[in-house]
Structures are given as structure tokens and as C-alpha cells.
Structure 1
Amino acid sequence: MSGIVHVFVVSPDTRSERRLELHTTVAKLKANLELITGIPVDNQVISLLNSESDPHVIATLSDDSKQLGYYSLRDWQVLKVDDTNPAVSFTGQMTDVSQVEKFELTEQEYAARQDTVLAYKQRHQMGRFAPKGEEKVAQPEVPTDISVSARCEVESSEAGLSKRGTVRFIGPTKFGSGAWVGIEYDEPLGKNDGSVQGERYFTCRPKYGVFVRPDKVNVGDFPVEELDLDDEEM
């Protein structure tokens, strides 16, 4: 679509794919990015990169009056948003574990708890707790609401990161026991192209494919995240 580009927006706490209109001014972009990144407008420094793997800065969007088209943005480039005063907006602290007190249990305390993997294996006679000569392996079932071609979101341990995509495969695999769900991500957040260890289960672009357990998948109306900068929607 003329006048629109798709780019990745990254900040210390967020990463997402956005749709931008080239006639939008830098000032208006910053106002919208404050809602997404949590970085105040006055503290934002926006750099344009070719990709996340290439740290070279092509341009700095420093003139608030300029339109995005002035900086020649192209599809799938990266807008890197840095915070000049993180102490005020607390950016980066969501993923900084250096300030968190480490919680540790002794082996005896861990064995006494009933909400651990160890306790689960004991109750279900799995692994080293299985009857001699018999290994009891839990086989996860695929929920009935997961189907091929369904839109979905995969649980992420990274704060502010949405992993959305489309279900491309459901069933057993050669690389692991039980049921797996093959996902084609909207963004290159995956680990493969739909094949693992020489076996192909579906086809997608490299780094867009991933296999996860069914309990990590939420199926629903999850469109590709877009940043709509129309005035009437502000």
C-alpha cells in the first residue's frame, strides 16, 4: 500500500511490528511510541537501522517537524527507541534481574515441597520413580480448540514481547515425545523454517517457524500488531 511501511520498533522493554504512514511527523510518532514503549516524548532518541543484527545507525529522527518519508523508511527496517533518562521512566528494569534478591532452597526444602516437578514425578511414578523396567511418560494432549490455520499467541518470558502467528502443524514429531504445535510467527522470532533435524512438518521462511507444547498456545483473534496513527483514533 502506497505511503505505508512495516517496521520493527524496539526499546529496552518492548519489541513489536508496526505499520507507519510516511506522512506522519516525527513528533506525532513519538507521542504514539510513548504509549508503546513507556518512554516520555522528551526522553526519546529514535535511530533508524537496517536490521537488529546491524548496529549501524542510518539516520537519527531528530527533527520533530519532519515527516517519516523524509528519512526514506523502507519495509522491515528497525526503529530503535533509546531512553535518555531511564531513571525517570524505569526502562530496562523489567528485564534487569541484578536488583532482585536471589531465592534459593536447600535440597531438603525442595524435596519437602508438593508443588515441584520432583513431587509431580513422584506422584505419577515418572522417570527414576517409575516401577522397575517401566518408564511412564506423560503424553500431552492437543486441546480441541487448536486447529491448523488458526491465529494464535505463544506465551513469552520476555516482557512486552508479543509472539503471534498462525498454526501450521499439530501432532507427534520425531524430535520429541507427545504432541507438538508448529507455529509460523508473524515476525522472525522462531528457530527454524518448519523442519527439524531433516524432517519437514510445514514450510515457512527461516527463523519464522517454531514448535511448542500445546499448553503454551492461546488460540483466538490475534491480528498482526499494527500502529495506526490516524488522528481520529488518538
Structure 2
Amino acid sequence: MRTSGPVMVTLWVISPDTRSERRFDLHITTSQLKNKLELITGIPVSNQALSLYNSEEDAQPVAILDDDNRPLGYYGARDWQFLKIIDTNPSVTLTGQLSDVSQVEKFELSEEAYAQRNDTVLAYKQRQKLGRFAEKPDEESQKTEEDVNIQVGSRCQIESTEPGFHKRGTVRFVGNTKFAPGTWVGVEYDEPIGKNDGLVQGERYFECRHGYGVFVRPNKVETGDFPVEEINFDEEM
């Protein structure tokens, strides 16, 4: 009587640290299979829990190989199924020690120490003035047109840091602009000490001679009876 030859099956063998394609005899017992798997996965026989899946994404196994004396064929193993090996005690396994993060001493840094470092996300945000570190606009820039008591056509004097130098002119515009948030005051200076002619970034807010116009915040503007003062630009200082 002839003895039938081995019946082989090709399985995907997957463990926490390995993945390979292997062929097994359906007649080998689960105990013999575990001995082979220890050489493949590095997981000791005593720590192996074996399950058979139709696909890697399946949540439920089609069979659990929990009887060491049963042959692989008993569990209905078919070509290209997935044999998953779980390490039930990774702390004593070399490969498990490499992947088990619970065994790794964690680096912890206090909030105070973290705040003092200059190579962190926090430090980057502080340098770039991002998020909660962004510069807050001053109260004046948040005022609406209704909050500003400056009338178009009023004579005015603009704050100057140069002693004895009065920058006087006429208010030509009060309101919001497209070039920056908040309320701005457009002024036509009496002399060519401005920056524009009322046109900024392609948007016209008022008209005046080129070099006579300027935009300033309301808190820099003082309105009142300010007559025109002639400035002698040829005078030596």
C-alpha cells in the first residue's frame, strides 16, 4: 500500500516583528509548527498564540490553533491565508524587547525646562510670533470709524519726533482700508513730506499731489486751528 505524500499549504506568517511567505505540511501538529515558527519569528514556543485569518484586515480569525496535538490541516488551512503569531510575553523575547515600548525608559522634561530650550516648537512660535505669541494690534488700530472724532476737511497737525518741526495738513480721508486693518486717517500735507498721493496698493482713498499724501493712525492726529507753515528746505540745520 502506497503512503500518500505530504500535502503542502502556503501561508503568510505574520508576527509583531516579521512577515514572510512560508510553506507547511498540513500533517504537522501545532506543536511542531510552533517549533518551526520560533526559528522564523524568534518567539519562544511557550509564548506563541496562533490564529488563522482569511485576510490581514480581518478582525475575527477563522481558527485558533489552541491544541498542540492537532495537525495544521485540522484547522482548515488554505493557501494564502494569514497565520498570525502573538507574543504573549514580549518582555522575555529579544524581538519583543525591541518593539515593546513599555520596557523603554521614557524621557520626560518639565514645563520649565522645556520653555528654556531654543530647539522646540514653542521656541519657534515665539521667534516667529505665531499663535498666542502673535503681536496684538494696539487699541487704536481696533477703533472703528464711528469711534474716531476726526472730520474730513479738518486742519490737523501730525505727531513728529523732531523738535520744532510741525507736520501740518488737511484731513482727506477717515475710515478702513484694504492695506491694513483698523481705522486710518489720510492726510494731505502742506509740504511735499508725504509718501503717496492717496493711492495705496492700487486703491485710491483720496486725491492730492504726489508726495503730499500720508496715512496715519488716529492717535497721531491732532485737529484744530493749524495755519499753513512754510518750511524752508534750503535752510542749513
Q: Shorter-chain TM-score: what band?
A: 0.3 to 0.5
Which of the pair is proportionally richer in helix?
A: 2
